[in-house]
Structure 1
Amino acid sequence: MKGFKLTILNDILSPQDLKSLSRTDLDNLAGELRSRILETVSKNGGHLASNLGIVETTLAIHLVFDDPDDQIVFDVGHQCYAHKLLTGRQQQFNTLRQWQGISGFTNRNECDAFGAGHSGTSVSAALGLAMANQLDGKQHYVVAVVGDGSFTNGMIYEALNNCNKKNLRLIIILNDNEMSISENVGGLSNYLSKIRNSQNYFNLKHHTQSVLHRIPLVGEGLIKGTRKFKKQIKKRVVAENFFEHLGLDYLGPVDGGDLKKLESVLSEAKSKQNCCLVHVHTVKGKGYQHAEEHPERYHSSGPFDLSKGIEAKPSGDTFSAVFGKIMVAAANTDASICAITAAMTGGTGLDKFSQAHPQRFYDVGIAEEHAVTFAAGLSANGKTPVCAIYSTFVQRVYDQLIHDAAIQKLPLIMALDRCGLVPGDGITHQGIYDCSYLCSIPGIKIYSPETYDEMKMSFATCFENKSLAVIRYPKGAEKKYDRSGFIKLKGLSYQDFFNQDVNRAAHQTVKPEIVMVTYGRITENAYDAIALLRATYSIRLIKLVKVYPLDLSEMLPLLQQPELVYILEEGVKSGGIGEKLAAAIAQDEQINPGKLRIRAIENPLMEQGDLTSLYDCCGFLPGQIATEIAKIVEKKTA
C-alpha cells in the first residue's frame, strides 16, 4: 500500500462528492481507502480482511445510489469501514473502536440506517425499511450488504422468504468472499461455489449488452430482441438458482474488484420490478499480501506492525486455549464428548480439538440456535455435548436452552467465552448479560472461574454431574497476583485481610468489618482495592466459582454481621448474581449487615473502549472501589 497519499479521500465529505470523480480518480480512491483502513486497523485493531475486500463494491453502491435518501444496511458490520470513510466520518476514523470514538460496526447514533453487530439481521431490517418507504410513497432504495458467512444464519432465510413483493425497492448484495470467520461450512457454501462457475455466462451477457448499446439507432431494439434468446441460453447454461425460486431476481456473480462492471450491474438491479439479489465475488484481504495469504488471521485483529503483519499466535495460555486443552484431554478418555461451535473454531480454542477428534467436532456456521438444539439432540442419544459460544451470541439461544434442554432435563455444557466487559467491539458484543438471564432457566448451574485451575475443576465437575451447566470466562489470560492466602471451600474461596491493630492470634475470633463478595476476572480489582483499605479496616474477600445456584450453606456463615457487605459484579445489576445474593442475605436474620451495596453495571449499553476506560465508567477501578467502601463505612460509624 506504499505510495498512496490521501489526496482524493481528504476531499470526500459525503457520497455526493464521488459523482464528479473521473475513472482514474475512483481507482486511486480505492487505493486510498485501503491505505487508510490498513493504517487505522494496524493501530487500533479491528475487522480488516473483509473490509479490504469490499472497497470497490462500497464505492459502486455510493455511485449508483444516493445515501442517505437511499439507505444502506450492512450485515454484522464487519465490512462497513469504507462506508464510514465515504459518509463524513474520515476525520474521526482514527478513533475507530476507541473510547468515545466511532464504532467498529454500523451505528444509528452516527449516521447509519441501521445498527448491527450480530449476524443475519440485515435483510429483515432492510425489508422493514423498504416496506416503510413503500407505505409512505417514497421512491428510495434500500440496499442490504450481506457476507456469505451470514447465509449460514437462519434469520436470513426467514427474511428472504418474505422478500417476494412486487415493486419493492430492495436490493440485496451478497458479498461472497468464500470465507466466514472460520472456514465456511455447510451446503450453502458448496452451492455458492457452483454458482461462481456460472460467471462466464454473466460476463458474456454484459459484454454483449455493452457492444449492442454502442450501435447507433438500432442498439436498444437489438437488446430487446435478444432477451428471449438470452433466456433460452441461460436455461441451457445456468439452471434457475435458489434465489430465483424464492421469487427474487438474481444478477451475478460479478467481480467485486471491477468498479465499472459493479456500477453497471447495480444500475441494472435498480431497474428490476422484483427484489433483486446481486452476487458479488470479492477477495478477502485484497491489497495487503499478508491478509490475502492468511485471511483468517485478519478477520479480527489487534494492533500489529504493517510491515511484518500478524505473526502466528503465541503459545502462551489464555482461557480459550486452556478450554481447548481441557476438551482434548477429556475427549481422549471419554468417547461421548462432542464439541460444537458456531463459526468460532479458532476464537473459542477448539482448533486443536477439531484436529484431534474431527469426527466429534461440529462447526455449524453462524447458527447458534441450531447449535444448541443440535447439542440437545446429541445429549438425548447419550453423548456429552459441549457448546462453545461467545457470551454475546448466547443471547440468541435462550429459547433453545429452556425448550430443548432444560424442560427435557438433558445434560448439556455451555462454554461461554468473552464474558464480562469487552473492549473494542463495544455495545453489541458486551458479555455482561448472561448471568442475569441464564439464572432464570430451571435446573441450570453456572460457574465463573477466575483461574485456569478453577476452570479445570469446573469442567471436571460438569462432566461428572451431567446436568445443564454453564462455564463462563473472559477473553485473555488469567490475572497474576498472590492467591496463596485463599481458603478453598465448595464452590468458593475466601481470604481475610486484618488491619495492623489486630493480633494474629485473635484472627479466629475477630469479625471482619467489611465483607466483599465477587467472582471472575474482576476479583483482582477487589484484591487491589483491599490493599488500599487494609491498613484501616478488617476485610474478608469471598470469591465465588459456582455463582448459581448460590451455595448458601458455605457462604452465609462467612458473613458474620459485618458493617458492610459489598458485592462487586462485572455484569448487569438487574437480575444479576449480586441481587440474588442480596435477597438471600435479607432473608437470613443472623447476618444482618449494617449496610449492603452492589457495585455492578447499571447502564449496560456500554460503548467500545479499552478495558481500563470501561472499568472507570462503571466504577470498577481499585481506587474507585476503595473510595466508595470507605465513604459507606464512615457514614455508618459517624
Structure 2
Amino acid sequence: MRPETPLLDRINTPKDLRDVKRDDLQRVADELRAEMISAVSVTGGHFGAGLGVVELTVALHYVFNTPEDRLIWDVGHQAYPHKILTGRRDRIRSIRQGGGLSPFTKRSESEYDPFGAGHSSTSISAALGMAVANKLADKPGKAIAVIGDGAMSAGMAYEAMNNAYEAGNRLIVILNDNDMSIAPAVGSMSAYLARILSSRSFLSFREFGKKLIAKLPKPLAVTARRAEEYARGIATGGTLFDELGFYYVGPIDGHNMEHLLPVLENVRDADEGPILVHVVTEKGRGHPFEAAHVEKYHAVPQFDVVTGEQKKSAPKAPSYTNVFAKALIAAAEKDDKIVAITAAMPSGTGLDKFAAQFPDRSFDVGIAEQHAVTFAAGLATEGYKPFCAIYSTFLQRAYDQVVHDAAVQKLPVRFMIDRAGLVGADGPTHAGSFDVGFLTNLPGMVVMAAADEAELVNMVATAATIDDRPSAVRYPRGEGVGVALPEVPEILEIGKGRIVREGSKIAILSLGTRLAEALKAADELEARGLSTTVADARFAKPLDHALIRDLAASHDLLITIEEGSIGGFGAHVMDFLAEEGILDGNLKVRAMKLPDTFQDHDKPETMYADAGLDAAGIVSTVLKAMGRNDLGQSAAEAASA
C-alpha cells in the first residue's frame, strides 16, 4: 500500500519544489522518506544511505538551481530520493529491474545526473572539473559534490581537495558524515556557529581581515593568519579541510531544515571558495529496523514495510562468498602466515567471518583498493600469505598496484576476486567483465576461475601454496550449483585443466561457472548427433597447452567460453593456436565471451542469455559454426529432406 503524499504529489521537478512554502519542506521530506521506503520494499535496493539524505536532498534542490547548478552524488546509492524529486518518481518502482531505472546516477537517464557514480570517491574530482569549466567560461553555476558513506577514506577524494583551489567559489563539497566517524555531537550551538561562519557579513569581515593581514610585516601576518585558522578550527573542528584549501563550515544537523537551509543559502551566495559543509546524518533514518541492523539494511531485497522481514528465497546451495570464507578459515587454521585484507567490504567478501575468528590477521583498509594491494605486497615481502578479497569491478581501481607492486616484483599476493562476471541488478558499473583480460596480460600471473563451489575450495588451497608470484581466483556472485564440497581440498597442478565429459566432434573449453551451461548444451548437441567433449580449463593463465592441443587435434570445432570481455581467455587460446600453426588446418574455432558493450542491469540469467552465454546460445553457436540448421542438419541434409 502506497503512503499518502499530498505535497510530494505536486512535485515533479526541483522547480516545483522551489514553489513550496519554506515551512512545508519538512513535510515534503517526511513524504519523500515514506515514498522511498514504500518503493524499495517492492523493488529491493540500496536503502540506508538514501534514507539518511532525505532532508539534505530536499534542501539542496530547494536552495540550488539544479540542473544548472551541478549536483553530484558520490556513490549513486545515496540518490534514490534525488531520483524521486527529479522527474523519475513514476519509474522509481522499476529501479534495478530490467529496463528500469539504474540503481546509481546515470548521465543518459536524466539531465539532473551530471555524472555517473557507481564507484566511490569520484565526486569531488568531477565537481572540480565542472566548476573550473564554469570558471573558464565565466558562468555563474556552482558544482556541488555530496560525498560520504565511507567515500572519504579513499585517497582520490583528498587528491581532488588538494587541487580544489582552482575552482574558486564555484565548488561546494557537502561532507555527509553518516556514521559519526568525524563529527562531535551536534546541536544548536554548532548550528549557530555554522550559520555565522558561512554568512556574507562574516566572510566579508574575514576578507577585510585578510587584506589587513597582507599589509602587516611578514612575521606578524603569519602569526595573525595562524591565529584566525586556529581559533576557527577549535570552534568547528575543520582544521584538516582548512589546510587543504577549503573554507570549512560545520558540523550541522543534516535532518534539521532550520539548520540546513540558511547555511546552504549562505554558501551558495558566498564569494569565498571552495567551501566544505560538514553535515551529520543518520544512515537509515526513519526506518524502525535500520538502527539495529545497519549493515543488513545498507542494501536489501524486497521486504515487508510493517515488520521489516526481508523476502529471501531459501538458498539451494551455499553462496560462493560463504564457501570462500570457510575455505580461507580452514586454511588459516593450519597456517598462521595467512592474513586477509578487504577494502571496506567485510561482509560482501565474507571476511567478516574470517575476522571473527582471526581478528589480528584480518584488515579492513576502507575504500582504498590501491592501498589494499600495496599493503598486501608489503606483507608478502615479510613471508606472510595475504589474501586480498576485492570485487572484480573494484580491483580495476588498483590495477597499477597489481602491476607495479605485485606482478613486477613477483610478490605472492593472492587476489580473491568476488562478483566476477555479470552481477545483475547493479548493472555495468559493478559487472566483473574485465579482470581476466587485465590480469592474464601480466607476465607470471596465475589466474584461476572456479567452475563450481568445490573447485573454489580447491583453488583457495592452491593459492595458499603459490609463494613465488601473484595469483588470482575469480568466482561469481550468488549461489553455487549444489555440488558436494571436498573434506580435504585438492591442490591443483598449476596450469592444468580437466576433461569433464568425453566426445569426439565438438570440444567446449569452459573457464568459470559457464561449465554447467556447457554441459546442458552438450546434452542438446548429443541429441542432434554431435558428440561433444566438455573441458574445464580451470586456469586462464598459464594455459593448459597439452589439453588445448589434444582438443584441437581430435575435434572438428573448438569453442571457448568465458564470463569476461574480449581480450581474455579466448584471445589467449587463439594466440596459442596461431603460434602453434594449428589454425592453419581444418579446425574451426569460436570464442564465446561477453559482448563488446556495457550491458544494462537485469536478472543475471537474462543478461547471460542476451550475451549468448547460456546453453541455448552455445548450441546456436555450434550449429552455426558447423553449418547446421536448428534441427542439426547440414544444408545438403536439409535439401534432401
Superposition TM-score tier, normalisation by shorter sequence: 0.7 to 0.9
- Aligned counterpart, 2:218: none
Give the drift of 1:327: 1.6
Change (3 A) 1:455 1:144: same
Q: Deviations over 1:380-430 (max 9, x none)?
A: 111111100000001011111111111211111000000001111111111
Map residues 466-545 of structure 1 onto 2, 5 A cutoff: 466=467, 467-480=469-482, 491-496=496-501, 512-535=504-527, 536-545=529-538
- Aligned counterpart, 1:549: 542
- Aligned counterpart, 1:358: 359
- Aligned counterpart, 1:79: 78
- Aligned counterpart, 2:599: 606
Give the drift of 1:456: 1.8
User: Are the counterparts in 1 of residues 418 and 475 from structure 2 also a CA contact under 8 Å?
Assistant: yes
Structure 1 unmatched runs, 5+ = 180-188, 214-218, 499-511
- Higher deviation after alignment, 542-551 or 615-624: 615-624
1:620 aligned counterpart, secondary structure = coil
- Aligned counterpart, 1:204: 192
Q: Distance in 1 between matches of 2:72 and 2:201?
A: 34
Change (3 A) 1:581 1:33: same
Q: 1:11 aligned to 2:7? A: no
User: Are the counterparts in 2 of residues 77 and 106 from structure 1 also a CA contact under 8 Å?
Assistant: yes
Give the drift of 1:235: 6.2
User: Are the counterparts in 2 of residues 339 and 388 from structure 1 also a CA contact under 8 Å?
Assistant: yes
- Residue 286 of structure 1 aligns to which amino acid in structure 2? R
Give the drift of 1:614: 0.8
Give the drift of 1:224: 7.0
- Residue 576 of structure 2 aligns to which amino acid in structure 1? A
Q: Distance in 2 between matches of 1:77 and 1:22?
A: 29
Q: Deviations over 1:255-308 (max 9, x none)?
A: 111123211111111233111111111111111111232111111222233333
- Aligned counterpart, 2:617: 624
- Aligned counterpart, 2:262: 264
- Higher deviation after alignment, 28-37 or 372-381: 28-37
- Aligned counterpart, 2:171: 170
- Residue 254 of structure 2 aligns to which amino acid in structure 1? G
Map residues 450-461 of structure 1 onto 2, 5 A cutoff: 450-461=451-462
- Higher deviation after alignment, 230-239 or 549-558: 230-239
Change (3 A) 1:622 1:6: farther
- Aligned counterpart, 1:586: 578
Structure 2 unmatched runs, 5+ = 210-226, 486-490, 636-641
Q: Distance in 2 between matches of 1:32 and 1:416?
A: 41
Map residues 110-509 of structure 1 onto 2, 5 A cutoff: 110-111=109-110, 112-165=113-166, 167-178=168-179, 189=181, 192-193=182-183, 196-197=184-185, 201-205=189-193, 234=232, 237-238=235-236, 241-272=239-270, 273-310=272-309, 317-466=318-467, 467-480=469-482, 491-496=496-501
- Residue 432 of structure 1 aligns to which amino acid in structure 2? S
Q: Deviations over 1:591-620 (max 9, x none)?
A: 845321112112231111111221122112
1:253 aligned counterpart, secondary structure = strand
User: Are the counterparts in 1 of residues 246 and 275 from structure 2 also a CA contact under 8 Å?
Assistant: yes
Q: Distance in 1 between matches of 2:301 and 2:618?
A: 29
Give the drift of 1:481: 7.4
User: Are the counterparts in 2 of residues 165 and 274 from structure 1 also a CA contact under 8 Å?
Assistant: no
Q: Distance in 2 between matches of 1:432 and 1:363?
A: 25
- Aligned counterpart, 2:215: none
Give the drift of 1:28: 2.5
User: Are the counterparts in 2 of residues 148 and 174 from structure 1 also a CA contact under 8 Å?
Assistant: no
Q: Distance in 2 between matches of 1:107 and 1:118?
A: 12
Give the drift of 1:442: 1.6
- Higher deviation after alignment, 134-143 or 33-42: 33-42
- Aligned counterpart, 2:219: none
Q: Distance in 2 between matches of 1:28 and 1:468?
A: 56
* Superposition TM-score, scaled by structure 1 size: 0.88
Q: Distance in 2 between matches of 1:435 and 1:230?
A: 54
User: Are the counterparts in 2 of residues 481 and 524 from structure 1 also a CA contact under 8 Å?
Assistant: no
Q: Distance in 2 between matches of 1:224 and 1:397?
A: 45
Q: Distance in 2 between matches of 1:206 and 1:397?
A: 38
1:427 aligned counterpart, secondary structure = coil
Aligned mate of 2:588, from 595, 598, 607: 595
Q: Distance in 1 between matches of 2:236 and 2:589?
A: 70
Change (3 A) 1:209 1:169: closer
2:259 aligned counterpart, secondary structure = helix
Give the drift of 1:158: 0.2
Q: Deviations over 1:9-51 (max 9, x none)?
A: 2332210001121345422221222222222222222110000
- Residue 264 of structure 1 aligns to which amino acid in structure 2? P
Aligned mate of 1:559, from 540, 552, 565: 552
Q: Distance in 1 between matches of 2:292 and 2:177?
A: 17
Q: Percent identity?
A: 38
User: Are the counterparts in 1 of residues 428 and 599 from structure 2 also a CA contact under 8 Å?
Assistant: yes
Question: What RMSD in Å do the two structures reach over aligned CA positions?
Answer: 3.0
- Aligned counterpart, 2:223: none
Give the drift of 1:310: 4.8
1:347 aligned counterpart, secondary structure = helix
1:307 aligned counterpart, secondary structure = coil
User: Are the counterparts in 2 of residues 571 and 600 from structure 1 also a CA contact under 8 Å?
Assistant: yes
Give the drift of 1:360: 1.1
- Residue 284 of structure 1 aligns to which amino acid in structure 2? K
Q: Distance in 1 between matches of 2:194 and 2:234?
A: 18
Q: Distance in 1 between matches of 2:370 and 2:267?
A: 33
Change (3 A) 1:631 1:207: closer
